[in-house]
Chain A
Amino acid sequence: MVEEAVRDWEFFLGHMNYWLFIVLMMTGFYIVVAKGNLVKKIVGLNIFQTSVFMFYISIGKVEGGTAPIFPVDMNIDPAVVYSNPLPHVLILTAIVVGVATTSLGLALIVRIREEYGSIEEDEILKIEKEIALQEIRLHSEVMGERG
């Protein structure tokens, strides 16, 4: 019993990165879904994406591995274990994508603010509902006339 509990505890601690990845991911996801402020949504999206960066970087870790830099003379000692650099490179790309998404999202918010005068989702929805109602009213007036 005790042994099992210790093993579980060690498994838990040993995978700390992954637990934090899940916590961070769900936090970000929750913010995107639950917050009504458009800027806060973008912040949530950022946290969500950052959690994935952490996930990828954790994959690259090799136990006992050192930084993946070959010696200058290229005499590679086969006994030395290197961490896997590939996930890090992938995540560089994903970071660039994240930056582009954030900046585009913020630019859209600026434009939304100019047009609607608000960055709160519920207020924007109210304005949009009003426009839609007017459209339908016009539609039924015109279409009703010929009735």
Chain B
Amino acid sequence: MSTETVHHTALTLADHLPALQVLVPFIAAPLIVLFGRRGIAWPIALASSATAFAVSILLLSRVIDGSVISYHMGGWEPPLGIEYRVDAANAFVLLLVSAMSTLVLLFARESVEAEVSARHHALFYSAYLLCLSGLLGVAITGDAFNVFVFLEISSLATYVLIAQGSERDKRALTASYDYLIMGTIGATFFVIGIGFLYMATGTLNMADIADRISEQGSNRTIRAGFAFIVVGVGLKVAMYPLHSWLPNAYTYAPSMVTAFLAATATKVAIYVLLRFVFTVFDPGFLFEFNTLGYIILPLAIVAMFAASFIAVFQSDFKRMLAYSSVGQIGYILLGIAMLSQTGLTAAIVHLFNHGITKAALFMAVGAFVLTAKGSFYNDIQGLGRRMPLTSAAVVVGGLSLIGVPGTAGFVSKWLLVEAALENGWWPVALLVVASSLLAVIYVWRVLEVLYMQPTPDGSTVQEAPMSMLAPMWIAALACVYFGLDTDVTLTAAATAAEGLLAGSTGLQ
């Protein structure tokens, strides 16, 4: 052992950015519990989330040109050690997650005050930070088993957060329990898939697995692993028939939790799917090609229609948005199933755009819940005049959800149609447009309730406080900004798509 030379290069703090990305919120979480003081929990949570946001901006600025940062955890060389690997695709996801988390935390203070009992606040913010660091960890790691561990950290924290809605509605408990059962089945399927990959390749580093799979080609073990991973991650993504946990979980969770989950959790799961489908496996394989073409593509289209259709008939604003989320995930999966540069770019852009849109809308729901004590259409009718700023944010978010030109939703749907036409799939392009019409109906229903109906007599509802309006409007304005200036998102998404596709051969 003594003959071994130890390389000891001095690392600056900047070299440790990938580790800090995950560790800052991860260490802040137990700190909050240790201090145990209610007043200090929120500032710590906000500070660590803002730090993570700053780190993610630095990381994205380093990899936007297509380069890759490889960070060796604890100095152990991959493939034996755990590697954190940052490229354009996951830097983009990291930015989305940490930005949304910071925004939602700014919004959270009053909302949590009203919806969660005071003695749980410290633990609540601690669970929130664990969830955040889990999601960031899933996005940043380059080790397949590490993905599972972070996925479970974030999932367990999510179950706890959803259950906190039980003070307003006891159904939050059963929603959380259902999600726990479904989520654990999903994660276990995922870990079985990783086991098959390990059997076939003898390594857990994703880049290494990819190399060995491309060397030895496809075999039955790898195909079994692929199937398990797609189903397992599909549960987390809420891919259409596996989505049944989502509507209840989103409806009964505290408002800020819903805003955070809708903007980030499913998006991170989609990133995992992208990473495995494109980087680890090779979409050139017939099996995978067929899975995407004959299973995911039809399911995505069914989701676009079925979930949007159900959303039309909801009488709860929050539940309507939850179903709309299932539908919007359909668009993202559709982009992935197109297996082309444009399709993948559309999927990644929509992932981002839908994240900010839903964050804005769910924050508006939070404001309604705070002031009008509910999000049912009978609670919010006629509030367009009483809460003009919140309602206007709903208008902007709703337009972006439909995909009206000038909003972020338009950019991604336009790309999606373009990708469909590029593949010569004009019926699919028509379906994208047709399903957007369903979005027009369900958004219109909300706007009608808000603006066209009289405020009930004796209503004393006031506009939401500034601390809620500001983050809500930042998200709403972001919807408009990214609809007009598409440079940033399109460049990042195109680089990310290129990076993901570079690893896979056999694509036309």
Contact = CB atoms under 8 A, between A and B. Distances in A.
A143 B180 CA distance: 36
Nearest to B170: A115
Contacts of A140: 315
A146 B454 contact: yes
A111 B166 contact: yes
B378 A143 contact: yes
A87 B376 CA distance: 50
Of the listed residues B1, B159, B171, B176, the one surrounded by the most CB atoms of chain A closer than 10 A to its CB is B171
B319 to A, nearest CB: 10
A48 B171 contact: no
A104 B381 CA distance: 39
A97 B159 contact: no
B429 interface: no
A115 B166 contact: yes
Nearest to B152: A97
A105 B377 contact: no
A100 B177 contact: no
Contacts of A48: 185, 188
Interface string A69-88: 00000100000000000110
Contact of B198 (A59, A111, A138): A59
B378 A41 contact: no
A61 to B, nearest CB: 11
A49 B456 contact: no
Interface in B454-468: 454, 456
Given A55-B195, A111-B166, A146-B453, A139 B378 contact: yes
Interface string A107-147: 01101100110000000100010010001101110110010
Interface residues on A, range: 35 or more
A100 B127 CA distance: 14
A94 to B, nearest CB: 6
A139 B176 contact: no
Interface string A53-71: 0011001000000000000
Interface of A is mostly: helix
B173 interface: yes
Interface string B172-208: 0110110011001101100110010011000010000
A52 B188 contact: yes
A25 B198 CA distance: 19
A128 B171 contact: yes
A24 interface: no
Given A32-B181, A45-B185, A139-B378, A108 B149 contact: no
A136 B377 CA distance: 10
Contact of A131 (B171, B195, B316): B171
A76 to B, nearest CB: 12
16 contacts: A32-B181, A45-B181, A49-B184, A59-B198, A86-B204, A87-B198, A101-B156, A108-B163, A108-B180, A112-B173, A115-B173, A128-B171, A135-B316, A136-B315, A139-B376, A139-B378
Interface of A: 25, 29, 32, 38, 41, 45, 48-49, 52, 55-56, 59, 74, 86-87, 90, 93-94, 97, 100-101, 104-105, 108-109, 111-112, 115-116, 124, 128, 131, 135-136, 138-140, 142-143, 146
Given A86-B204, A140-B315, A146-B454, 9 more contacts: A29-B185, A56-B195, A94-B191, A105-B181, A111-B166, A112-B174, A139-B315, A139-B376, A146-B453
